[in-house]
Structure 1
Amino acid sequence: MLAAMGEFDLIARYFTRPATRAVLGVGDDCALLQPAPGTQLAISSDMLVEGRHFFADVDPAALGHKALAVNLSDLAACGATPLAFTLALALPRVDEPWLEAFSRGLLALADAHGCELVGGDTTQGPLNICITVFGEVPVVNGKSQALLRSGARAGDDIYVSGTLGDARLALEALRGGIALPADLLAQARGRLERPTPRIALGQALRGVASAALDISDGLLGDLRHILKASGAGATLDTSIAIELIASRAHPACAKGLISLKNQLDYVLAGGDDYELAFTAPVSAREAVLAAARQAGTPVTRIGRIDAEPGLRLLDARGQRLTGDFSSFDHFA
């Protein structure tokens, strides 16, 4: 009977693998990691809660992918190389088909990035997934090569990777707020449920970008973290954001299925994109493009860092754009 499977049987069957990069993996009270000489550990944790971060009927393989992807995205924003992760999993009951699919999606992405599962915990309760990921960042001549939020300077360009807004579009469609043809919904839903962590781009931007973070709660809200940490302001050209980002992300835009107001909202405040937002000096434009080519990831320059505090949005005519583009906040 499925219910007869205990906690340790569950861990052994679905989440235990031989350690390869770790000194000691699953099975003891602690895992043991040995960072390579001349590196620092980069560590990040994220939690996904049913009903808050994902729908109850989500494909468990996609959920396993996303649970790790959102953590790997943090490593990407730091310019780190994935090393290992731990998994804390609360389950309402033992459901073996669900566990098989979830672990398959989780471990496939882990294998793709050489990031091994080295420990964690399981318990009974409402479905809740918490992952802590570990990565390595080089230290060169005593200086960490980690990308931080605090390095942006006046005059720097502002870039984003990939496309923005797909995840928000899928969310609105799944909530019934917008009607999409099946093919467009499938495309957008893929971005919502299977985001791509930009690991290669983050590594390629070491020594090039002045500041970086991943876009999880919405471009404007997350960019403000860079501005606060760097003591700077910014000006964004929203027409570039719409023309070069939303039009790529949404064939629905070209078909007139999404209003300009909604396009702006999805791109500027949509969240769940897990792309990188980063800054770099004007003198590094060629280096940024070379990093993008090396990583196989398109980037778009959308604005500049200003000495004047605040975040200014301009339309296609260069006029100030007003409006409330509030990013996601769990407690707002």
Structure 2
Amino acid sequence: MIKNQTGYATMAVFGITLIVSAILLAYGIWVRWEAQTTKSFLEREIERQKLNDGIGQAIELLLVDDEMEVDWLGEAWAKHLETEDFAVQIIDEGSKLGINWIDERLWKNLLPTNHEKLESLFSELREEKRLISSIEEVNSRLDVDLNGNIFTVYSMFNVNIMGEFELESLWRSMGMDQLRARSAAAEIVRKRNEQRLNEIGELEKVNLLPRSIVERLEPWLVFTGPININTAPSEVLAAVLKHYDLDEKVGNLVRVRATRPIHNHSELAELLDSELVDDQGNLNELGRWFCFQSQIFRISGETSSRRIETIVKRTRDEARGIWEITVLSWIER
């Protein structure tokens, strides 16, 4: 009987020892895992902070009050901001054509084929009430190779130059039904044919166009531009000017801006040898295409394990004589 009790006690002690050992082992593993997790988290946070600092440096460049730095073809502002910790690049989206507002006449100048597929694609998107989200989407659907230096999905929308079809697509992407979107687009075209639109307040007065939609779109709306005449590739200039039988002026335009920035529509009219104002002294349709300072920039930054892409809008506060930056989107991966 005593022997049995001794055996049971020995087994109990042995079992307890195993349990304690297992607990200690598990605790040791947990401590090491926790330490590694904490270290990994801290490393990621440090990388994130360094990348945020890089994005901040890029934004500071866009606030420089010097047209030779930002709004001209000089490369000083556009180079990569690289350190051993991060790489950041600024992309001028104001120099490109917006895929979501290019109309049929421009597509024909830019794409010699695939027009039927293009029309079908836009019809599908309009039914889905959305805009094209990437250049890759167009390339895969149309089996083309659109150049990212010429096209963008981040362009601002100029209601003075967009076609009726494109205006309808824009309103439908904001949730309007087809009939209302089509009627609102038609009224905008009618109004601007009488006199070009100049401010948000005029757009808010358009029948059937809810003020809530205009307010949501306001950061992306413009009434002159969005093509920056000083930074747009020659292919972009040619595509636009060809519609006005002025594509032969592109070469001279490019030569002149290589030596100095073009400052205003008067200078541009001289270079194009064409009127850019109407009988009332307002900018005509051709004049409305171009601006001289980009507003939308994409800032792309990355470290070894993290990537940030942000879209910012740069606007001029003339009263205070300074540039201001508004962050329109911020995506971390």
Larger-Rg structure: 2
The structure in which a higher percent of residues are helix is 2
TM-score, normalised via structure 1 length: 0.23
Q: TM-score w.r.t. structure 2 length?
A: 0.23
